[in-house]
Structure 1
Amino acid sequence: MNDVDATGRTGQRGPAPAARRVIAQAGFEARGLLSHGEQLLVSVGLPLMALIALAITDAPSLGMGARIDLATAGVLALAIISTAFTGQAILLGFERRWGVLRMLGTTPLGRDGLLLAKALSVFAVLVVQFLVLGLVAAFLGWRPDPAGIPGAIVVTVLGVLAFVSLAALVGGTLRAEAVLALANLLWIVLAAAGGVLIPADRFPEPWSTIVSFLPSSALGDGLRAALVNGAFPTGDILVLGVWAAVTGLLASRLLRWSD
């Protein structure tokens, strides 16, 4: 569409402002995530089943504190990983296969804009996830410590950034079939032995020390420290910040627009 400037000359309208481009793409991404049944199963259904299973059983040990409080914090961390990493990595892998990223590469959005839009779409989906999981957990007796809410918000934001960047690194560099297998495998491994549902200090050494430096453990332990104990988990926040910075930098440089 042509515009007319102050001198009466016509010219081509430039691209929309960067913020508007990112928000528009984020809205498109969020609608896509919420409209796919298989994605909702991974992002809401599986964490919900994990929450109920942990709440009604006595094993495995989740540490000191009310079991439902510990279980809910871990399941919220699992929901973040499900949406920010597993879902996004698989989606990116097949977007490259189908040529969607190649098309986006011709727009002013850019790699950084795409990563930010995907992170914002994850936050939108997390609102739905946290609402559903929180209501069920509250029904089961969950009572988070209000003093820990600021820390939980910081942990959640950095956790989303770290895992979205990791998803972009995996989904933006590997072939779609490899992404599908690796993303699902990592989800299982992290849920079972990555410090998400079971705190890192419940594992034997040296695995306990190794796990404590993973973003999954920092996310799970950070939410447990904040929502169960009302603490501000500085150490876990630092770990997540480092992961977010490193994976974000690598993803912005290595993400490929096509196979």
Structure 2
Amino acid sequence: MATQTPLTTESAPRRNTPASAGRQILKQTQYELLLTSRRGENVLVTLIIPVMLLIFFASLNIIPVKQGESKATSLLPGILAIAIMAAGMVNLGIATAYERYYGVLKRLGSSPLSRSRLIIAKIISILVLEIVQVLLLIGVAVAFYGWRPVGSLPFALLSLALGTVTFSALGLAMAGALRAEMTLAGANALFLVFILLGGGILPLEHLPAPIAAVAQLLPASALTQALQQTMTAGGTLPVYPMILLAVWAVVILIVAMRTFKWE
């Protein structure tokens, strides 16, 4: 785990002008992307696994598909949701937890970088990483399964951005409040729960009614439903999923910013 930081030392005075804040966020974002590129396991989780899931389920006849839809059209929104959860909650959460464990965050805490700016920089770095994820998944869907874009691109991008904020904040909330080992176990456990109850692979109507009712309130199902509604023919703004996802995003982001600890 790299421990160097491009930020100034603890003797540097803190500056709170908008320009200095922007520079700090940009510098830290570059640093986050550099670290991510050096972690092979992160590349596996965030890029390869979602592609493998798309290929696996699109190649079999075990997933129900709506009449008139191709397998790729039915699966891609859910796989994109899974990719966002993997990048934000699992990848970012676990990496940040071990940065805290190894004392990297303690050093950042003595620099001019504030807690909120660190969180913003980490979320932006995940947004950049997800551009690669989305392009890779769409490329596979187009090349191998004849997928063609339908629906509303602006609403789909809004759903992706809101989902990124939500699950990145969730990963950071765990990383900033729990021990590294607890974050590792918790992020992976939640990831599995969200895959099973998010509706991305198995539609919620195929679950028992009580479980489906609980699943409808989870951020994973809100993100999946938002993408499904915006990536289908005649896609419109999915009001309820977007409101639910926005509520989750605001609540989790506030929790992350207030409970995040440097050490």
| TM-score in terms of structure 2 length | 0.88
In structure 2, stretches of 5+ residues that fail to align are 1-11
Is residue 2:232 matched to residue 1:232?
Answer: no
Contact in 2 for aligned 1:72/1:142 (Cα 8 Å): no
Matched letter for residue 105 of structure 2: L
1:82-101 mapped onto 2 (5 Å cutoff): 82-101=86-105
Structure 1 position 27, deviation (Å): 1.4
Q: Alignment RMSD, CA only?
A: 1.7
Is residue 2:35 matched to residue 1:57?
Answer: no
Is residue 2:44 matched to residue 1:41?
Answer: yes
1:202-217 mapped onto 2 (5 Å cutoff): 202-217=206-221
* Per-residue Cα deviation, 1:64-112 (whole angstroms, up to 9, x for no partner): 5322111111111111110011011101110110111111111222111
Q: 1:25 aligns with which of 3, 21, 28?
A: 28
Matched letter for residue 43 of structure 2: L
Cα distance in 1 between the residues matched to 2:180 and 2:188: 12
SS in 2 for 1:92: helix
Cα distance in 2 between the residues matched to 1:115 and 1:200: 32
Contact in 1 for aligned 2:197/2:221 (Cα 8 Å): no
Cα distance in 2 between the residues matched to 1:207 and 1:70: 22
Equivalent residue, structure 1, for 2:260:
255
Structure 1 position 238, deviation (Å): 0.6
1:1-259 mapped onto 2 (5 Å cutoff): 15=15, 17-63=20-66, 65-139=69-143, 140-145=145-150, 147-229=151-233, 230-258=235-263
| TM-score in terms of structure 1 length | 0.90
Structure 1 position 115, deviation (Å): 1.0
Matched letter for residue 25 of structure 1: Q
Matched letter for residue 211 of structure 2: W
Structure 1 position 14, deviation (Å): 6.4
Contact in 1 for aligned 2:169/2:253 (Cα 8 Å): yes
In structure 1, stretches of 5+ residues that fail to align are 1-11
Structure 1 position 196, deviation (Å): 3.1
| Aligned-residue identity in percent | 33
Contact in 1 for aligned 2:14/2:112 (Cα 8 Å): no
Cα distance in 2 between the residues matched to 1:13 and 1:256: 21
Cα distance in 1 between the residues matched to 2:13 and 2:95: 32
Contact in 2 for aligned 1:44/1:129 (Cα 8 Å): yes
Larger of the two Rg values belongs to structure = 1
